[in-house]
Amino acid sequence: MCKDQYLKHLRREIKDLPEFEQKEILADIGEIFQMGVAEGKSDEQIAGNLGNPKTLARALKADIFISDAEEQKTWRSFFKAFGLMLGMGMFNFMFMLTPFLFASVAVLSLMAIGLMLMTGSFFLLIKVPIVTAIFNGCMVLGAGMAVFMAGFDLSKLIFRIFLRYFKWNVSIVRRETIESKNVV
């Protein structure tokens, strides 16, 4: 595959990235081709060393989405990175979706229990002496708030853990790509 074909395929794969990111990536890859030609390599050799444009684009997009998720710390950016990582192969699908589902269930359960305790505290005011009702209501409300906040803090912790896992996963995919090139 020649330089123009490679860049065309790569451009098609990174079209959903912002324009400035696309230009930067294409300029970097063009520079790699220029340096390779200066060293006496053919376009086919350089393209072979870079690997499949689709795989390269996925790794580059993963890096960008992960860094966006780290900087912005929003669930939207997190799910963009998560979706891309799931799409990188069956291994990622199985070993990322399962822990994510368990973690999500744990967080949502804690938050739901906290909300139920907070709303349930108001029902303790019925048919009980006022002093006891206020005391019990405050205790249950406080417990509900504590459980809800524990769920919220757990969600932030899981967010950070999954971002580290995404980075590790991208490095594994890159290492496998490099090792497969050395064998060929």
The whole model's pTM is what?
A: 0.59
* Residue 158 Cα distances to 28, 79, 93, 103, angstroms: 34, 13, 18, 7
Residue 108 counted as domain residue: yes
Residue 172 counted as domain residue: yes
Asked if 103 contacts 158 with a C-beta cutoff of 8 angstroms, the reply is: yes
φ and ψ of 41, to 5 deg: -90, 155
pLDDT, tens only, 83-99 = 777 666 666 677 777 88
Count of structural domains within the chain? 1
Residue 91 counted as domain residue: yes
Residue 159 counted as domain residue: yes
Residue type, 110: L
pLDDT, tens only, 110-151 = 999 999 988 887 777 777 788 888 888 889 889 999 999 999
Residue type, 142: G
> Range of 107's domain?
85-183
